[in-house]
Amino acid sequence: MGDAQRLSPEEQIRFAREAFDGGQDFTIAVEEEFALLDPESLELTNRFEELKGAGAGSELDEHLVGELIASEIEIKTGRSATFGETAERMGTRRAQLAELADRFDVALACTGTHPWSRWQDQRIIDTPHYRRNNEILQYVVWRNNSFGIHAHIGIRGADRAVAVCNAFRNVLPELLALSASSPFVEDCVTGLHSARTEIFTKLFPRAGIPDVYDGWAGFERYVRFLYETRSIDEHTQMWWSVRPHLAFPTVEVRICDAQPDLGEAQSLAALMHALGARFARALDEGEPLPQLPNRLLEENLWRAIRYGLTNGLIDFERGEVVPARARIEALIEWVLPVAEEIGAAPYLAVPEANASERQYARLEQLGSHRDVFAELVRRPRELVGA
């Protein structure tokens, strides 16, 4: 999300189409959201403005932004032409953030939710964009104390970008199952693997899995409808889990929980990048891509929310449930040729246990979800695996 729009809806739509049609294929940028914590209590702490101010004029400055609440901070890699460069920048940005947090005695966490801090105690940051969201959404935005990792994949051609978004719908549950990291929230062991997704996609309007759109024209008709009916007043109020971004010529994938581990964050981003490129190649070569109805995809999304990688996802072509890990391994095999071209292949992997599985395993051993979270909190040097 960004600052309030400076362009009219008509200008946003026209410039977005022109940007896509003149864009560059398969660039990649990654955004990671972190919780700011008091190092003693591990409660969320409203320190964003201090950190942002201290970062002014540094190399990190333009890559450090606010994200709704003052106890959250986002770091951006910036756009790269190859995934290897982006992976390196992900480590660099984490190290830069860690150094900044250390100066202010702030701890950091990177799970999809904070396990116990109250949403009532968090302050919305004072920007035009977030003031407007606060005015529109009220309780819905107050409750959204969640943390994710987003990937922006460059796709040349407006129609092609919409078609890539259509294809991404089919694999959103797999990406969520792989990334699930939020089993605890509101001082509750939820029994879910991604409480973040259940909160965000069920509370926010225009969230979750979008419809299939008939090229840019179909997508544009819907966007115009939202503006004309005053349902939105800026394009970022379409909070889908994948969307064509009107400010950049990218497909933005937004389904994933934040990742405590840098290596797993890199691997997840590599898969999103490779999927975007592979979908585009399939379209170019006339390879058929399914357009599954939301009612079917929602079944798999729920399975990912509830079970992460520990259960099965539905293989709709075969009409049966298969292990979630097998689904992701098949995706990796399918994207591998293009992943090698864009530098993503060395990072592709399915972990033995993802973040939510590890948290549940430690809960069995420690008996307290607060103790589990305490192990995941990163003091500065731990953030980059030092």
Sequence ranges of the domains in the chain:
9-377
The predicted model gives 163-182 an average pLDDT of: 98
Q: Report residue 177's pLDDT band, with 50, 70 and 90 as the boundaries.
A: very high
Report the pLDDT value the prediction gives residue 132, as an integer from 0 to 100: 87
Cβ partners under 8 Å of residue 245, min gap 6: 16, 152, 235, 251, 252
Output the pLDDT for position 5.
56
Integer Cα distance of 179 and 354 in angstroms: 7
pTM for the predicted model, two decimal places: 0.95
Q: Quickly list DSSP for 155-212.
A: -SSHHHHHHHHHHHHTTHHHHHHHH--B-EETTEE-S-SBHHHHHHHHHSTTEESPPP
CATH architecture of 9-377: 2-Layer Sandwich (3.30)
For residue 230, is pLDDT > 90? yes
Q: Confidence class of residue 4 from pLDDT cuts 50, 70 and 90?
A: very low
pLDDT bucket at 3, cuts 50 / 70 / 90: very low
pLDDT for 124: 92
User: Is residue 7 scored above 90 in pLDDT?
Assistant: no
- Residue range 265-274: mean pLDDT, rounded: 98
Interval 218-237 mean pLDDT: 94
Please state, in angstroms and rounded to a whole number, the distance separating the CA atoms of residues 114 and 76. 21
Least confident of 45-49, 122-126, 220-224, 268-272: 122-126
Residue 76 and residue 240: Cα distance in Å, rounded? Answer: 20
Task: Report whether pLDDT(243) > 90.
Answer: yes
Task: Note the pLDDT tens digit of each residue in 305-333.
Answer: 999 999 999 999 999 999 999 999 999 99
pLDDT in tens, 129-151: 888 888 989 999 999 999 999 99
**Does the structure show a pLDDT above 90 at 382?**
no
What mean pLDDT is reported for the chain?
94
